[in-house]
Structure formats: structure tokens, C-alpha cells
């Protein structure tokens, strides 16, 4: 693929720039004046074709299977986008009086109610703009909770299989991370937890199911150990897609959870953003939620909505009320599925993951061979001729598949974390498994195909370390 500057030909133009009819006031500083702006000289149709071809080289869930484990890259129904684009939502200015925004406030109040019901929490803030932002909000609430109790605690415990945002959040809030080991079954090591928890422990951050796709069978015991120490338990809700409508984290004893609306509740993920990471908490933590929260009032049977400000709030974490149109999409998604549909989505996500795992474990090493939830982890230890996870990821591109999450979680060497989600068909899952099996065979008989992949991409294998450390962007003139 060549750059648009390489397509440039002298004298060709896509537009005609009219002569400036504004008087020259002489106010532009001399150093900013330019006699000529260098732009490519191409026709309009060449401009259109160039950028359309570039766009087709992007990969997204609308183009193909996107098995990124721990990211829930599932299909987002387009009707949710249409609803979020209704003029009453997209054209509403956040500074209008509350009397003009009652419909939007009702929607946000309704979404909060849905999230409370799904999670078993008592209060929800919709402000956080991403999962990590929800984590930050939660740990800040933990901090003020103990400050109000006049307790000085400094440590937060995190499993060695945790998402990287967990220790980053803890550090940003001024706490020290204490790593807890995983057991041989992939769950939290209870003995290690007991050995490390003490009176200085603020709490435990736990993803359940974890990044191995495993629901911790000791979760009730773990939470009791933490609570008996006077500490709090935070649920990283990144993997809620596995158990929404089936088990409520609040009923398990968790004190708080963030929701990834851009994962679990089907709004565009990644570059399709923005995201949203609402935080749900138990009643004894509700006073610390970011201001304002939305409350419902009923006067003579007529409902209205207003903003409530708590004097003990940690303050705002996002301008206004969060990424509003993302909230609209999540509301539409939940309303469209209903309670039974939410449960079915989780059940199908778990079914799809176990189906793929059962097919691939015959050919790839499965370090934790047990029933998984929404995702599972295999590794490259059974590959021949020194074929690595990175080689497999590159070779998948030649077959039209995006690679799964690679080299994570860190406790599995050469990890490939695969999450099919509930939106993929059996035929798609079979095609992906067939390609993975074929790559395994290629590593035995024709390893050059795998070791030097990709072959069909416009850019061949790059030195990723060099590219990251020696960024050098050159524009052809």
C-alpha cells in the first residue's frame, strides 16, 4: 500500500480553493506565514479510493471473528447505534435545565437500576469512562472509607493472574500492591492469601471468573477471609459476560464492582469507543460515589428525576454524567434482551468457550484442564520446531482471523487467551479451530510458513521491539 503522496501528480486537483476575499490585516506573524501548503495533488476519485482501501485493511468484529480473550469483542447490534443517535439524545446539551432532560435522566436512572439488579449492588455511578476508570473510582472510595473510619491502611492484595490495570490503579491511589499466588488449579491460593493478609490490608481486587476463564470455587471462603480482616473486596467486572443473569457478585459478598459497558453490554470496543465503566457499590459505600447521582421522586404518582449531591462524595471523576450515548446503547441492549436474554447470552458465551476448548486441547497444551467460563487459555509448549505463540498469531492473519490475546495472563508461558463470546456461530468457531489445527500441522511439516508469517498482509513481519523503541515516521514528498 503506497501513501497518497506517492500517488500525487503535478497539476491534478480534487478541489478548487477560491481566492481569499478577506482583507489582509497584517496580523499574522511573519514566522507563521506560508506561501505554499504541501498537499498531495490527486483527483477526488483517487482520494476516495485511497482512504476506502485503507479502511478495508482495518480489522473489526463486523468483518470477522475477533477472539480477544478478556476483552469480550462481541457483535454490537446496530439498532443500539441508531437509538443513541436519536436527536433527543445526541443533540441534548448537558447544561440544559433538568426540566428539559427528564427523559435522559430517566434512562440513566433505569440503567443504574438494571445494573444494580444484575450485580446485586445497592447504588451505581455511571460517571467512569472505562473499566480502569471504574477501578480508580472504586479504590478511591476504599481510601475514603477507611479514612472516615480513621484507619490508616496501605496495602491492597491482587492475584498474580490479574489484569494489568489493577496494580496500576492501586499504585496511582498511593497504595502498595501485595501479589497473591494462584493455585495449581488456577484459582486464588487460599494459604497464600491467609499468609499475606493483615491489619494493614485495605482490600482484595479479584476478577471472577479470572483471566484464565475459571470461576473460583472458593469464592465464598475467600471473601469471608477478607471481610473477617475488616477489609473490602473489589470485583473487576471485565469478565461479567460469563455470569450476568446467572450469579450476582453482590450476593457472593463483593463490596463493589465496575461494569464494562463496552464489553458486556454491547457498545463498540476499542477504537470504536468511547467506553464506559460504571461502578456499583453496597449501601455502606454509596455516600462516597462521585457526585452527582440520579434519584427518582414521585409526586402524586408522577415521577421526576433530579441530581443528588453527597457531602462525603469523592467528587467528580468525569465531566457531567459520563459518556452518555454509550449509556444509551447499554440501556437499549438490556431492554432488547430482557432478563432471560441476558442470562442466555452468558450461557451461550460459556457454551461456546467450552466447545472450542474441547476441540483445541487435543492439539494445544491446556495448562488448566477444567470447565471454563467465557474464555480459556492454551499455550505453545506442544508446538514443534520452536514455533511460538507470536508465530501462530501472525499466521492466523493469513487465514483472515485476528489473533487472540497473546502472552497473557503472565502466569502462563506462551499464553493464548481465547474468548468466542455468545455472538459467534458454531460454523465460525469450527473454522477458527480448523485453522488453529492446520497451523499446528504446518509447524511440523512446513514451519517456514509459520515462522515467517504473515505472507498475505501489505506489511510483513516487523520487529515489534524495534518498532516500539525506535519510532521513525517518514512522509514521502
Average pLDDT value over all residues in the chain: 93
Is the domain of 267 the same as that of 393? no
Domain limits for position 311: 78-338
Residue 123's DSSP bridge partners are 281
Measured between alpha carbons, how far is 375 from 333 in angstroms, rounded to an integer? 22
Is the domain of 332 the same as that of 345? no
Residue 183's DSSP bridge partners are none
The residue-averaged pLDDT of 312-330 equals 94
| pLDDT score recorded for residue 336 | 96
Q: Answer whether residue 334 is part of any domain.
A: yes
HEC-encoded secondary structure of the chain: CCCCCCCCCCCCCCCCCCCCCCCCCCCCCHHHCCCCCCCCCCCHHHHHHHHHHHHCCCCCCCCCCCCECCCCCCCCCHHHHHHHCCHHHHCCCCCCCHHHCHHHHHHHHHHHHHHHHHHCCCEEECCCCCHHHHHHHHHHHHHHHHHHCCCCCCEEEEECCCCCHHHHHHHHCCCEEEEECECCCCCECHHHHHHHCCCCEEEEEEECCCCCCCCCCCHHHHHHHHHHCCCEEEEEHHHHHHCCCCCCHHHHCCCEEECCCCCCCCCCCHHHCCCCCCEEECHHHHHHCCCCEEEEEEECCEEEEEEECCCCCCCCCCCCCCCHHHHHHHHHHHHHHHHHHHHHHHHHHHHHHHHHHHHHCCCCECCCCCCCCCCEEEECCCCCCCCCHHHHHHHHHHCCCCCCEECCCCCCCCEEEECCCCCCCHHHHHHHHHHHHHHHHHHHHCHHHHHCCCCCCCCCCCCHHHHHHCCCCCCCC
| pLDDT score recorded for residue 85 | 93
Q: Answer whether residue 108 is part of any domain.
A: yes
Boundary-marking domain end, from 306, 338, 370: 338
Task: Name which of 216, 103, 114, 241 is nearest 159 in CA terms.
Answer: 216
Q: Answer whether residue 63 is part of any domain.
A: no
Is the domain of 425 the same as that of 333? no
| pLDDT score recorded for residue 473 | 60
Boundary-marking domain end, from 338, 354, 373: 338
Q: In this predicted model, what pLDDT tens digit does every residue of 160-192 receive, in sequence order? A: 999 999 999 999 999 999 999 999 999 999 999
Q: What percent of the chain has pLDDT over 70?
A: 97
Q: In this predicted model, what pLDDT tens digit does every residue of 424-467 receive, in sequence order? A: 999 999 999 999 999 999 999 999 999 999 999 888 888 888 88
Lowest mean pLDDT among 26-30, 168-172, 182-186, 258-262: 26-30
| pLDDT score recorded for residue 470 | 82
| pLDDT score recorded for residue 266 | 85
Is the domain of 408 the same as that of 321? no
Is the domain of 225 the same as that of 126? yes
Q: Answer whether residue 384 is part of any domain.
A: yes
| pLDDT score recorded for residue 273 | 61
The residue-averaged pLDDT of 205-216 equals 97
Is the domain of 243 the same as that of 333? yes
Boundary-marking domain end, from 305, 338, 371: 338
Binned at pLDDT 50, 70 and 90, residue 477 comes out as very low
Q: In this predicted model, what pLDDT tens digit does every residue of 266-292 receive, in sequence order? A: 887 765 567 899 999 999 999 999 999
Q: What angle do CA 108, 286, 256 make, to 5 degrees?
A: 90
Q: How many CB atoms lie within 10 A of CB 336?
A: 14
The strand order across the sheet containing 415-418 reads: 376-379, 415-418, 405-406
Is the domain of 84 the same as that of 230? yes
How many Cα atoms are found within 13 Å in the side-chain-facing hemisphere of 378?
26
Cα-based distances in Å from 185 to 219, 363, 369, 460: 14, 21, 8, 39
- Cell 489493577 identifies what position? 166
Q: Answer whether residue 72 is part of any domain.
A: no
The residue-averaged pLDDT of 358-365 equals 98
The residue-averaged pLDDT of 330-339 equals 97
Is the domain of 280 the same as that of 329? yes
Q: In this predicted model, what pLDDT tens digit does every residue of 92-141 receive, in sequence order? A: 998 999 999 999 999 999 999 999 999 999 999 999 999 999 999 999 99
Is the domain of 391 the same as that of 429? yes
Is the domain of 334 the same as that of 373? no
C-beta separation of 136 from 100 below 8 A: no
Q: Answer whether residue 472 is part of any domain.
A: no
Q: Answer whether residue 65 is part of any domain.
A: no
What CATH number does the domain containing 161 carry?
3.40.640.10
The residue-averaged pLDDT of 235-254 equals 97
| Domain count within the chain | 3
Is the domain of 281 the same as that of 383? no
Q: Answer whether residue 393 is part of any domain.
A: yes
What CATH number does the domain containing 380 carry?
3.90.1150.10
Q: In this predicted model, what pLDDT tens digit does every residue of 291-313 receive, in sequence order? A: 999 999 988 778 999 999 999 99
> In this predicted model, which residue has the larger pLDDT, 15 or 367?
367
Is the domain of 139 the same as that of 223? yes
Amino acid at each position: 500500500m503506497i501513501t497518497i503522496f506517492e500517488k500525487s501528480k503535478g497539476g491534478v486537483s480534487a478541489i478548487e480553493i477560491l481566492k481569499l476575499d478577506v482583507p489582509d490585516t497584517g496580523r499574522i506573524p511573519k514566522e507563521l506565514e506560508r506561501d505554499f501548503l504541501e498537499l498531495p495533488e490527486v483527483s477526488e476519485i483517487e482520494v476516495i479510493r485511497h482512504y476506502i482501501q485503507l479502511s478495508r485493511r482495518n480489522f473489526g468484529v463486523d468483518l470477522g471473528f475477533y477472539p480477544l480473550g478478556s476483552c469480550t469483542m462481541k457483535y454490537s447490534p446496530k439498532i443500539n447505534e441508531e437509538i443513541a443517535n436519536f436527536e433527543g439524545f445526541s443533540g441534548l446539551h448537558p447544561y440544559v435545565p433538568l426540566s428539559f432532560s427528564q427523559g435522559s435522566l430517566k434512562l440513566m436512572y433505569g440503567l443504574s437500576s438494571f445494573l444494580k439488579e444484575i450485580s446485586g449492588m445497592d447504588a451505581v455511578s455511571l460517571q467512569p469512562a472505562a473499566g480502569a476508570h471504574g477501578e480508580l473510582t472504586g479504590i478511591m472510595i476504599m481510601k475514603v472509607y477507611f479514612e472516615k473510619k480513621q484507619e490508616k491502611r496501605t496495602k491492597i492484595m491482587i492475584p498474580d493472574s490479574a489484569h494489568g490495570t489493577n496494580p496500576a490503579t492501586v499504585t496511582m491511589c498511593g497504595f502498595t500492591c501485595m501479589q497473591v499466588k494462584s493455585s495449581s488449579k488456577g484459582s486464588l491460593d487460599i494459604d497464600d492469601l491467609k499468609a499475606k493478609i493483615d491489619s494493614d490490608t485495605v482490600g482484595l481486587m479479584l476478577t471472577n471468573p479470572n483471566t484464565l476463564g475459571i470461576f473460583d470455587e472458593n469464592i465464598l471462603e475467600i471473601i469471608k477471609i477478607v471481610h473477617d480482616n475488616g477489609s473490602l473486596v473489589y470485583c473487576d467486572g471485565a469478565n461479567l459476560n460469563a455470569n450476568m443473569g446467572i450469579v450476582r457478585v453482590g450476593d457472593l459478598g463483593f463490596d463493589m464492582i465496575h461494569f464494562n459497558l463496552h464489553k458486556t453490554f454491547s457498545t463498540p470496543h476499542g477504537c470504536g469507543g468511547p467506553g464506559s465503566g460504571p461502578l456499583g457499590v453496597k449501601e455502606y459505600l454509596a455516600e462516597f460515589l462521585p457526585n452527582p447521582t440520579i434519584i427518582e421522586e414521585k409526586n402524586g404518582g408522577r415521577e421526576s428525576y433530579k441530581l443528588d449531591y453527597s457531602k462525603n462524595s469523592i467528587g467528580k471523576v468525569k465531566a457531567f454524567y459520563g459518556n452518555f450515548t454509550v449509556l444509551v446503547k447499554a440501556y437499549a441492549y438490556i431492554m432488547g434482551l430482557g432478563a432471560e436474554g441476558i442470562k442466555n447470552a452468558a450461557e451461550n458465551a460459556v457454551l461456546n468457550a467450552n466447545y472450542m476448548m474441547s476441540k483445541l486441547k487435543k492439539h494445544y497444551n491446556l495448562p488448566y484442564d477444567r470447565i471454563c467460563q467465557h474464555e480459556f487459555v492454551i499455550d505453545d509448549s506442544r508446538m514443534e520446531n520452536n514455533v511460538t505463540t507470536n508465530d501462530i498469531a501472525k499466521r492466523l492473519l493469513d487465514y483472515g482471523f485476528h489473533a487472540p490475546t497473546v502472552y497473557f495472563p503472565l502466569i502462563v508461558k506462551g499464553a493464548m487467551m481465547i474468548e468466542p463470546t455468545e455472538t459467534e456461530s458454531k460454523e465460525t468457531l469450527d473454522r477458527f479451530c480448523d485453522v488453529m489445527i492446520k497451523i499446528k500441522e504446518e509447524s511440523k511439516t512446513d514451519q517456514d510458513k509459520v515462522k515467517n508469517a504473515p505472507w498475505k498482509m501489505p506489511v510483513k513481519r516487523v520487529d515489534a521491539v524495534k518498532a516500539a523503541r525506535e519510532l521513525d515516521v517518514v512522509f514521502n514528498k
